[in-house]
Amino acid sequence: MPKIAILKFPGTNCDEDVLRSLKEVDSGVKAEIVWHKDFRVGGGWDAVIVPGGFSYGDWLRAGAIAARSRAMRELAEATTRGVPVLGICNGFQILVEAGLLKGAFLPNESGRFICRWVRLRIDNPKGPWLSLTRSGDELHMPVAHGEGRYYIEERDYESVVSSSPILRYLPSDNPNGSSYNIAGIGTEDGYVLGLMPHPERAVNSLLAPRGFKPGGEVIFKSVLHSLKPGW
Amino acid sequence: MGLYRVVAVVSLKKGLKDPEAETIQKDLVLRHGYSAVKEVRVGKQLTFLVEAESPEEAISYVKEMCDKLMIYNPVIHELYVTLHA
Amino acid sequence: MGLYRVVAVVSLKKGLKDPEAETIQKDLVLRHGYSAVKEVRVGKQLTFLVEAESPEEAISYVKEMCDKLMIYNPVIHELYVTLHA
Amino acid sequence: MPLNREEVEEIRSILGREPTIEELAMFEAQWSEHCSYKSSRRLLKLLPTTGRSVLIGPGRDAPAVEVFPGIAVVFKIESHNHPSAVDPYNGAATGIGGIVRDILTLGAKPIALLDMLYLGDPRDGRARWLVKGIVRGISDYGNRIGVPTVAGDAWFDSSFNTQPLVNVACVGIARTEELVRCRPASGDLILVIGNPTGRDGLLGSSFASKPLSDNPSEDIGAVQVADPLMEKMLIDSIAELVQRKLVKFIKDLGGGGLTTAVAEVAADFELGAELRLDELHLRTELTPLEILVSESQERMMIVISREKLEDVAAVLKKYDVPGSVVGFFDRSGRIRAYYKNGLVADVPARELAKPRDIKRSSKPPVELVKLLNPVGDLPEVPVSEALDSLLSSPNVASKRWIYEQYDHEVGVRTVLKPGFGDAAVLRLDDSRGIAVKGDANPRYTAIDPFNGAANSVAECYRNLVAVGSTPVAFVDEPNAGNPEKPEHFWYFEMIVKGIAWMASELGVPVVGGKVSFYNEDYRGRQVKPTATIVGVGAVEDVSKVKTMDLKYEGSAILVVGHTYPELGGSEYLARVHGIEAGGVPAPRPSSELRNASYVAKLIDRGVALSVHDVGLGGLAVAIAEMAILGGVGVELYLERVPCRGCSRLDEVLFSETQGRYVVEVRLEEVGGALEVASASGVTAAVIARTTGSKFFTARWGSTTVFEKGLDYLRELYEDGLRKYMV
Ligand SMILES: Nc1ncnc2c1ncn2[C@@H]1O[C@H](COP(=O)(O)OP(=O)(O)O)[C@@H](O)[C@H]1O
Ligand SMILES: [Mg+2]
């Protein structure tokens, strides 16, 4: 069984949710919440998830302080060794702030925090986190963020649009005014992926409101599938 | 009539705890060795481009506006209004 | 050695939609009739109390720190650093 | 409220000498209304506090009930009305902080927040500023600490324009055997952990125990800036301390600060304490007096045995939570505080912690009689327009603008989310869960505090039943005026009696609560006295939980319970006729019980497809909400509504008679459902059917009373509150 680290900073608050949901997807999973002070590249982690929350209170800017932390330097090192990394919500913001993914974040266009379910569509699924999905698949899951307006400059967008995995809100569902309706984006090989919506809140149909299906399950299944020896 | 750029800064009153500033100082500035920084304070800066007869008028116009609109809360904030340099 | 107050203002680049500024402007003009306000911009102001040899040194210390620590994000922000008046 | 002359005299006689200024401050903090309940304790004894499920009743920071064998729910309510009136953002935020810390004291894990907000008229500028600040404060704080805000109540009324009511509740869970219930013993160390103490919040609880000054900016000492990050670190570090069994006792440093925390524990366990005030970690230099009574937020007191100190320190260091050993408990029965080796206070713990009750006089205000008179002949108004007006009333309209600002999903438990049903439901393990909801109706309690408060209890009960839970326990928060004014105190008295009566009748204990007095505006006018009730229900199988949106075309709609001509105090009278008077709907506990158990049966047997209780705005509003949310049309036959004494259409449509539910039932199950009803003496009738038409139509015999498009109604409902908030 692969070993997954769930990296926790002061203010991270979705760590236990990710753990619970991973176990719901596969009860045998080996996953562990790792306090940022204890996180090491050499910890033998097969994948790392940076969960949501408000690291360091999100003071200054969402994810900005955590992005400069020692743990994130270790994580950056891990990505060069091909360890898959998933950033969810604040985790995505941290990865972007740390320069592991392109773009930047701005406050929601409404000026308010927003918590609601949205529909996403996948472009260029690639890499371990999306291995069981196909281009054009629709996934449903909730967002909950105040600074979730993903922004990417046009030339950067041009350079990733046809090569990198991108998750987009259906245009009618964009909750924050992000560029090109982007909800999530990955590196070209898809090993590092970040997304604003919360897949861990969408692994069980019990938690999906009427009209929505739990679309987070496939992301966790994908990584567990991809990490199986021989993949 | 002229156009004036008036800057209003809203910050927490002295003596009140400022968790944002403290976190920035402790977990960012000092952690990375910028120890010459003795204190950090955080405020919000609003810049208004105002049409007025004179700079004084522009300033007092903005002051009144900030009060009326309750852009800051006099109970916890201080407001500092100047003409943009 | 002296203590200098250095002010760093982080604001959104022009052209990026700033909901806070828009809300204030809408509220100002539409609801309260302050139509002399032509533009509103919002920024975050960080004030650092810095120990340095000279004001110039204090400023360049803060500038460097802001770059290194990414106090602002050059993709979306402008940074403006001055000595406190 | 500063100590009065008799109180100072009493302190002299307790000490047998002149008190020091530190001692005076300690008494002032501890004997404030907020901390001591000196005016309210006698009446609170009337509340039914016992029951099979009750593990810990009133007395501790928070009560605990056993919802399932081995699973305890810890929940509590709190008001932050006064701080929110002067600083809505931080006032509301620190209210959340405080209530969460109450839950931590038993070692429970906070899993849900509720906010019950009684706010000003959204058309008023200051009121709107308060609303926005309060909601943002709750949002920023609750979201940051990772506890979902899953339910609440929101009410808009000009009586709250300058003094809103911000009542918040937190729900936590723990395994029963893991609740922190040890006794602190002599020799145990007292630690204060969390934020360094500052001058902020100095004597905040005495601030909450007096009317607002007319110049709010003078109350700076009582203002506190919220620090949700520190709160989150407290939650995480305490969870680890508890899990590793390193603490014996935990207490929140709330109203009255260090003094209250230490004095109450010492008094409860017949101990004394020795404090070294200079050991406490501070933010700025403070005098010993300030250290004793500062109410800086995000601080907790933990009591540990000496040999655990090193382990505790390591946990605190891991989370970067500052802490200091400020003293220890002893057998002296006295609180002795030293500052730099000088003794600054030496007072008996018991006398400090338990001031004598004050018997307040109580007298119904004379104007009240007029309010209670039956409302005279109402002009006939078109009911169709009345319905529009009700659906767009901010009190009735969707609260989406509020709850979408709250992360109500964190924790991956929220099975029934805000806006979808009468209460929120959270899953615990795979199949079991709990339902939670908070309710009040300030208009009812302002007209008739006894019956109004009883109705708040009943409404909360119905909301819990409607989603498919079994009510287990309540906590309550009466928000009243100045207890020194007999006309204000009377409301409090009646509210408590009304709550006690209804809770006893329903057989659900009131296991805890909080009292808020001095809710007056700066002119000394009492805001609408309000009885807020929060309830918890047990859900055996979360997959059976019922939402209120209509599900299918072609099903039958049942109403459960009789409708009486009870328009007094209703939303209809207020909104459409501008009248806030009349006898409020009568509480009818026996039909509440009967109807509830019937609805529970329908849910349990899988007969009910959707359920909604009838509340504000009456039957018409309840059905409209179900249709709007489900996007399913309805044809309503008004002549079939079981009524007693109704002579007008508006009575049938908008009466707020209690104890009623609307249930959607599959056509083929109707016969069975009605049989069960008559067998159990319950009034139930099919009054409508669902259609594929996307219209809400009401007929009386062959006449069409109204016919409205669902999209049109949805717009009214969704926009009623939102339109003021942009
Ligand atoms: N202040 C609030 N915070 C969070 N949710 C709220 C608030 N006010 C209302 N709600 C939610 O909106 C929905 C409707 O509430 P309400 O009108 O009070 O229902 P009811 O009439 O059944 O008591 C519920 O899901 C409730 O929890
Ligand atoms: Mg209801």
In terms of domains, do D648 and D531 share one?
Answer: no
Using 50, 70 and 90 to split pLDDT, how confident is the model at C28? confident
A206 contacts D405? CB cut-off 8 A: no
The answer to whether residues D258 and D279 touch, using CB atoms and an 8 Å cutoff, is no
Question: Number of structural domains, chain D?
Answer: 3
More confident of the two residues D39 and D448: D448
Inform me whether the C-beta atom of residue A68 falls under 8 Å from chain C C-beta atoms.
Answer: yes
A89, A97, A145, A217: which one is catalytic?
A89
What is the pLDDT, as a whole number, of residue B16?
Answer: 87
Inform me whether the C-beta atom of residue D198 falls under 8 Å from chain B C-beta atoms.
Answer: yes
Interatomic CA distance for residues D35 and D47, integer angstroms:
19
B50 contacts C36? CB cut-off 8 A: yes
Q: In angstroms, what is the span from residue D542 Cα to ligand 1's centroid?
A: 20
In terms of domains, do D208 and D328 share one?
Answer: yes
**Which of D227, D233, D408 has its CB closest to that of A115?**
D408
Listed residues D335, D356, D377: the one ending a domain: D356
Asked if the model's pLDDT at residue D207 lies above 90, the reply is no
In terms of domains, do D272 and D420 share one?
Answer: no
Range 83-142 of A in CB contact (< 8 A) with C: 97, 103-104, 106-111
- CA-based nearest residue to D507, from D459, D457, D439: D457
Sheet holding D64-68, edge to edge: D54-56, D64-68, D71-79, D165-175, D109-119, D149-156
A14, A140, A145, A200: which one is catalytic?
A200
> Per the domain annotation, does D16 fall within a domain?
no
The answer to whether residues D615 and D656 touch, using CB atoms and an 8 Å cutoff, is yes
Q: Count other Cβ atoms within 10 Å, centred on residue D167.
A: 29
The answer to whether residues A97 and A137 touch, using CB atoms and an 8 Å cutoff, is no
Interatomic CA distance for residues A37 and A16, integer angstroms:
18
What is the pLDDT, as a whole number, of residue D214?
Answer: 45
Taking the model in full, what pTM does it have?
Answer: 0.95
Closest residue of B to A9, CA-based? B27
> Per the domain annotation, does D43 fall within a domain?
no
Residue range D287-312: mean pLDDT, rounded:
95
The answer to whether residues A200 and D413 touch, using CB atoms and an 8 Å cutoff, is no
Residue D708 dihedral angles phi and psi, to the nearest 5°: -130, 140
In terms of domains, do D565 and D687 share one?
Answer: yes
C19 contacts A153? CB cut-off 8 A: no
Indicate which atom in ligand 1 lies nearest the CA of residue D117: 1
Using 50, 70 and 90 to split pLDDT, how confident is the model at D218? very low
Indicate which atom in ligand 1 lies nearest the CA of residue D422: 22
- Is A200 noted as a catalytic residue in this protein? yes
**Chain C residues touching A107 at Cβ < 8 A:** 19-20
For residue A30, give both structure tokens.
């080996």
Residue range D488-492: mean pLDDT, rounded:
95
The helix/strand/coil state of C84 is coil
**Chain C residues touching B3 at Cβ < 8 A:** 38
Mind listing the pLDDT tens digit for each residue in B39-75? 999 999 999 999 999 999 999 999 998 988 888 999 8
According to the CATH classification, is domain A3-227 in 3.40.50.880? yes
Residue range D619-644: mean pLDDT, rounded:
97
Listed residues D528, D545, D562: the one ending a domain: D545
Inform me whether the C-beta atom of residue D122 falls under 8 Å from chain B C-beta atoms.
Answer: no
Chains that touch A (3 or more CB pairs under 8 A): B, C, D
The helix/strand/coil state of D660 is coil
Inform me whether the C-beta atom of residue A112 falls under 8 Å from chain D C-beta atoms.
Answer: yes
Residue nearest to atom 18 of ligand 1 (CA): D153
| DSSP label of D340 | T
Instruction: Kindly list the residues of chain C whose beta carbon comes within 8 Å of any beta carbon in chain A.
Output: 12, 16-17, 19-20, 22-23, 44, 69-71, 73, 75-76
DSSP D293-330: H---SSEEEEEE-GGGHHHHHHHHHHTT--EEEEEEEE
Residue nearest to atom 27 of ligand 1 (CA): D151
* D601 CB burial (10 A radius; 0-12, 13-18, 19+): middle
What is the pLDDT, as a whole number, of residue D203?
Answer: 57
Asked if the model's pLDDT at residue D614 lies above 90, the reply is yes
Q: In angstroms, what is the span from residue A96 Cα to ligand 1's centroid?
A: 36
ipTM for the predicted complex comes to: 0.94
- What is the residue-averaged pLDDT of chain C? 91
Closest residue of D to B75, CA-based? D217
* Per-domain boundaries in chain A: 3-227
What is the pLDDT, as a whole number, of residue D519?
Answer: 94
A112 contacts D405? CB cut-off 8 A: yes
Interatomic CA distance for residues D452 and D561, integer angstroms:
19
* D580 CB burial (10 A radius; 0-12, 13-18, 19+): middle
B28 contacts A60? CB cut-off 8 A: yes
What is the pLDDT, as a whole number, of residue D206?
Answer: 53
CA triple A22-A28-A29, angle to 5 deg: 40
What domains sit in chain C, N to C, each tagged with a CATH number? 2-16+42-83 (3.30.1280.10)
**Which of D86, D198, D229 has its CB closest to that of B75?**
D86
A57 contacts B28? CB cut-off 8 A: no
Q: In angstroms, what is the span from residue D152 Cα to ligand 1's centroid?
A: 5
Sheet holding D433-439, edge to edge: D414-416, D424-427, D433-439, D530-539, D470-479, D510-513
**Which of A68, A107, A110 has its CB closest to that of C70?**
A68
Identity at D379, one-letter amino acid code: P
Q: Which ligand is nearest to the CA of D407?
A: 1
Non-local CB neighbours of D182 within 8 Å, separated by 6+ positions: D248, D249
Residue nearest to atom 10 of ligand 1 (CA): D152
Interatomic CA distance for residues D225 and B4, integer angstroms:
34
In terms of domains, do D478 and D624 share one?
Answer: no
Interatomic CA distance for residues B80 and B63, integer angstroms:
9
Q: Which of B28, B69, B73, B77 to mutate to test the interface with D (most CBs of D within 10 A)?
A: B73
Cβ < 6 A, ligand 1 pocket:
D 115, 117, 149, 151-154, 399, 402-403, 418-419, 422, 424, 439, 463, 615-616
**Which of C27, C40, C48 has its CB closest to that of B40?**
C48
A103 contacts C73? CB cut-off 8 A: no
What is the pLDDT, as a whole number, of residue D268?
Answer: 93
> Per the domain annotation, does D12 fall within a domain?
no
Q: Count other Cβ atoms within 10 Å, centred on residue C30.
A: 10
**Which of A10, A57, A69 has its CB closest to that of B20?**
A57
Mind listing the pLDDT tens digit for each residue in D369-409? 777 777 778 898 999 999 999 999 999 999 999 999 999 99
What is the pLDDT, as a whole number, of residue D213?
Answer: 45
Angle, in degrees to the nearest 10, between helices D125-145 and D710-725 = 90
In terms of domains, do D405 and D431 share one?
Answer: yes
Residue nearest to atom 16 of ligand 1 (CA): D153
Residue range D624-638: mean pLDDT, rounded:
98
Distance of alpha carbon A224 from its chain centroid, rounded? 15
Interatomic CA distance for residues D179 and D175, integer angstroms:
7
For residue D57, give both structure tokens.
């009743």
In terms of domains, do D579 and D598 share one?
Answer: yes
DSSP D502-566: HHHHHT--EEEE--B---B-TTSPBPPPEEEEEEEEEES-GGG---SS---TT-EEEEES-B---
The answer to whether residues A190 and A165 touch, using CB atoms and an 8 Å cutoff, is yes
Q: Count other Cβ atoms within 10 Å, centred on residue D615.
A: 22
In terms of domains, do D199 and D124 share one?
Answer: no
CATH of the domain at D514: 3.30.1330.10
More confident of the two residues D724 and D366: D724
Inform me whether the C-beta atom of residue A142 falls under 8 Å from chain D C-beta atoms.
Answer: yes
> What DSSP element (H or E) covers D346?
strand D342-348
Using 50, 70 and 90 to split pLDDT, how confident is the model at D1? low
**Which of C44, C71, C76 has its CB closest to that of A106?**
C76
- Is A145 noted as a catalytic residue in this protein? no
B13 contacts D225? CB cut-off 8 A: no
Give the number of residues written for chain B. Answer: 85
The answer to whether residues D26 and D349 touch, using CB atoms and an 8 Å cutoff, is no
Residue nearest to atom 22 of ligand 1 (CA): D422
Interatomic CA distance for residues D61 and D170, integer angstroms:
12
Identity at D560, one-letter amino acid code: V
| Number of Cβ pairs < 8 A linking chain B and chain C | 94
Indicate which atom in ligand 1 lies nearest the CA of residue D396: 17
Interatomic CA distance for residues D7 and D725, integer angstroms:
47
Mind listing the pLDDT tens digit for each residue in D516-548? 999 998 888 899 999 999 999 999 999 999 999
- What is the residue-averaged pLDDT of chain D? 94
Residue D113 structural domain: 32-36+51-180+398-545
Residue range D256-264: mean pLDDT, rounded:
93
Closest residue of A to D550, CA-based? A210
What is the pLDDT, as a whole number, of residue D78?
Answer: 96
Listed residues D522, D545, D568: the one ending a domain: D545
For residue D444, give both structure tokens.
């009812």
> Per the domain annotation, does D389 fall within a domain?
no
Asked if the model's pLDDT at residue B82 lies above 60, the reply is yes
Q: Count other Cβ atoms within 10 Å, centred on residue D372.
A: 16
- Percent of chain D exceeding pLDDT 90 equals 87
CATH of the domain at D558: 3.90.650.10
- CA-based nearest residue to A152, from A126, A116, A186, A191: A186
Residue nearest to atom 9 of ligand 1 (CA): D153
Mind listing the pLDDT tens digit for each residue in D62-79? 999 999 999 999 999 999
D80, D82, D408, D488: which one is catalytic?
D80
For residue D168, give both structure tokens.
């918040």
Q: pLDDT tens per residue, chain A (231 residues)?
A: 789 999 999 999 999 999 999 999 999 999 999 999 999 998 999 999 999 999 999 999 999 999 999 999 999 999 999 999 999 999 999 999 999 999 999 999 999 999 999 999 999 999 999 999 999 999 999 999 999 999 999 999 999 999 999 999 999 999 999 999 999 999 999 999 999 999 999 999 999 999 999 999 999 999 999 998 755
